[in-house]
C-alpha cells in the first residue's frame, strides 16, 4: 500500500475541514507556490461549498458558503492563485502589507527566515537573547520574535545583514508590486488592509497602531481607488490585538476584522474578531484540525507514529 505523502495529508485535512460543518467559513492562505496543490485544495473546497465574496459571507453568513482570502500579498497570488481562480470566476480577497508596496523592504519575518537560511539560527538567537531550547527551527525563531518590539527586530535584522554582507530579499521576487495590485483590482479582486509592516499590534502603543492601520488603508485606497472595509490582524491570535486595536479599526472605517483563530462563522460573532481556517501550511492546518476535530487530529498522529515505526523497521 502506498504511504500517504504530505500532499495527501494536506488535501485530506482540507476535505475534512470543508465537509465537517455546514456553517459559513473563511479560509486563509499565505504563500501558494505549488499550483497543483492549490488547484486540488480549491477543488476540494468547491466540491462541498459555494465560494462567495468575503463581503457577502461577512454580512449574510449563510450555511454552505465560504470565502477565500490571502494574507501578506505574496507574489504567488498573482502567479498561481489568480491563474487558478480567475478562469473559474471564483472571488477572493487579498490582505496586503503596504510598506513593501511603497518601496520598503520585505516584511521582517521574511528577512529573518532569509538570514537564518544563510547564516544559521545561532547568530539570530544571540542578537535577541533567545533561549536555545525554545528556538531550534526557523518557525520557532519567527514565533519567538513576535514577542520582541518591532523596532528592535528591524534594527537587529539590519545589523545582522550588514555584519554578514547580506542584502534583504528583493521584494518583487516575493511580493506583489503596485502595478500587479492595480491589475488584480481592475479584474475584480478585492483588497483588505493588513498594516504597513506586519507588527504585532498589541505590542504597540495606540498612536503606533493607528499609524500602521490608517496609513495602510490610505495607501490601499491610493492603489485601487477605494477604501478597504476589511482588515486582517498580523499573526491573528487573540493576544496579537487588543481593545485599542478595535477602536482604531472603527475610527478608520473598518467594518470587519479577521483573526487566524480556527473556526466557522456564527451569527453572534464579533464582526471585528471573525475566525478563519488556515490552509496550505502544516502548522496552520494542524492547529485547525486540533481545535475543530480533535479526534481526527489524534487519529492522524497515531497513523504517523505507525508509519514512522514501519519505515524504521524496513530501513526507509
Question: Tens digit of pLDDT for each residue in 245-291?
Answer: 999 999 999 999 999 999 999 999 999 999 999 887 655 555 555 65
Closest of 265, 259, 261, 201 to residue 231, by C-alpha: 259
Please say if the pLDDT value at position 297 is more than 50: no
Note whether 84 and 197 are same-domain residues: yes
Q: Residue 287 has what pLDDT?
A: 59
Q: Mean pLDDT lowest for which of 136-150, 177-191, 276-290, 295-309?
A: 295-309
Higher pLDDT, 59 or 310: 59
The model's pTM is 0.87
Note whether 89 and 128 are same-domain residues: no
Q: Return d(Cα 50, Cα 208) in angstroms, integer.
A: 39
Note whether 206 and 84 are same-domain residues: yes
146: containing domain: 108-163
Whether residue 1 is contained in a domain is answered as no
Contact (Cβ atoms closer than 8 angstroms) between residue 268 and residue 260: no
Please say if the pLDDT value at position 202 is more than 90: yes
Q: Residue 17 has what pLDDT?
A: 72
Note whether 185 and 212 are same-domain residues: yes
Note whether 289 and 239 are same-domain residues: yes
Give 124's pLDDT tier (boundaries 50, 70, 90). very high
Note whether 18 and 132 are same-domain residues: no
Whether residue 314 is contained in a domain is answered as no
- CA angle, residues 305, 310, 312, in degrees to nearest 5: 95
Note whether 136 and 97 are same-domain residues: no
Note whether 154 and 185 are same-domain residues: no
Note whether 131 and 257 are same-domain residues: no
Q: Residue 96 has what pLDDT?
A: 98
Q: Mean pLDDT lowest for which of 9-18, 113-122, 130-139, 290-299?
A: 290-299
Q: Residue 291 has what pLDDT?
A: 58
Q: What is the mean pLDDT of residues 141-165?
A: 95
Number of domains in the chain: 2
Those residues with Cβ within 8 angstroms of residue 189's Cβ, 6 or more apart along the chain or in another chain: 82, 91, 92, 93, 94
Q: Residue 290 has what pLDDT?
A: 61
Whether residue 137 is contained in a domain is answered as yes
Whether residue 149 is contained in a domain is answered as yes
Whether residue 85 is contained in a domain is answered as yes
Please say if the pLDDT value at position 35 is more than 70: yes
Q: Return d(Cα 31, Cα 162) in angstroms, integer.
A: 28
Note whether 196 and 292 are same-domain residues: yes
Mean pLDDT value across the chain: 87
Note whether 38 and 115 are same-domain residues: no
Whether residue 315 is contained in a domain is answered as no
Give 306's pLDDT tier (boundaries 50, 70, 90). very low
- DSSP states along 19-32: HS--S-EEEEES--
Whether residue 312 is contained in a domain is answered as no
Question: Which CATH number goes with the domain that contains 290?
Answer: 3.20.20.370
Note whether 213 and 245 are same-domain residues: yes
Amino acid at each position: 500500500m502506498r504511504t500517504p505523502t504530505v500532499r495527501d495529508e494536506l488535501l485530506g485535512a482540507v476535505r475534512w475541514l470543508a465537509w465537517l460543518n455546514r456553517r459559513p467559513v473563511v479560509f486563509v492562505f499565505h504563500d501558494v507556490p505549488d499550483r497543483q496543490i492549490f488547484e486540488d485544495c480549491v477543488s476540494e473546497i468547491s466540491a462541498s461549498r459555494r465560494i462567495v465574496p468575503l463581503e457577502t459571507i461577512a454580512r449574510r453568513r449563510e450555511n454552505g458558503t465560504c470565502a477565500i482570502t490571502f494574507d501578506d500579498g505574496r507574489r504567488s497570488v498573482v502567479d498561481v492563485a489568480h491563474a487558478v481562480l480567475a478562469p473559474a470566476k471564483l472571488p477572493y480577497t487579498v490582505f496586503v502589507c503596504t510598506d513593501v508596496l511603497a518601496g520598503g523592504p520585505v516584511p521582517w519575518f521574511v528577512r529573518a527566515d532569509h538570514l537564518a537560511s544563510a547564516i544559521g539560527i545561532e547568530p539570530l538567537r544571540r542578537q535577541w537573547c533567545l533561549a536555545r531550547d525554545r528556538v531550534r527551527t526557523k518557525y520557532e525563531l519567527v514565533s519567538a520574535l513576535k514577542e520582541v518590539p518591532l523596532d528592535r527586530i528591524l534594527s537587529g535584522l539590519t545589523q545582522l545583514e550588514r555584519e554578514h554582507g547580506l542584502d534583504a530579499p528583493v521584494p518583487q521576487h516575493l511580493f506583489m508590486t503596485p502595478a500587479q495590485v492595480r491589475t488584480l483590482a481592475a479584474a475584480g479582486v478585492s483588497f483588505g488592509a493588513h498594516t504597513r509592516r506586519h507588527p504585532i499590534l498589541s505590542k504597540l502603543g495606540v498612536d503606533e497602531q493607528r499609524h500602521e492601520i490608517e496609513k495602510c488603508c490610505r495607501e490601499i485606497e491610493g492603489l485601487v481607488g477605494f477604501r478597504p472595509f476589511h482588515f486582517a490582524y498580523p499573526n491573528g491570535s487573540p493576544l496579537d490585538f487588543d481593545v485599542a486595536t478595535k477602536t482604531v479599526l472603527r475610527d478608520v472605517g473598518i467594518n470587519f476584522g479577521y483573526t487566524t483563530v480556527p473556526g466557522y462563522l456564527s451569527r453572534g460573532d464579533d464582526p471585528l474578531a471573525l475566525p478563519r481556517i488556515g490552509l496550505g501550511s502544516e502548522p496552520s492546518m494542524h492547529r485547525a484540525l486540533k481545535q475543530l476535530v480533535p479526534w481526527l487530529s489524534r487519529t492522524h498522529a497515531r497513523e504517523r507514529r505507525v508509519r514512522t515505526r514501519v519505515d524504521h523497521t524496513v530501513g526507509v
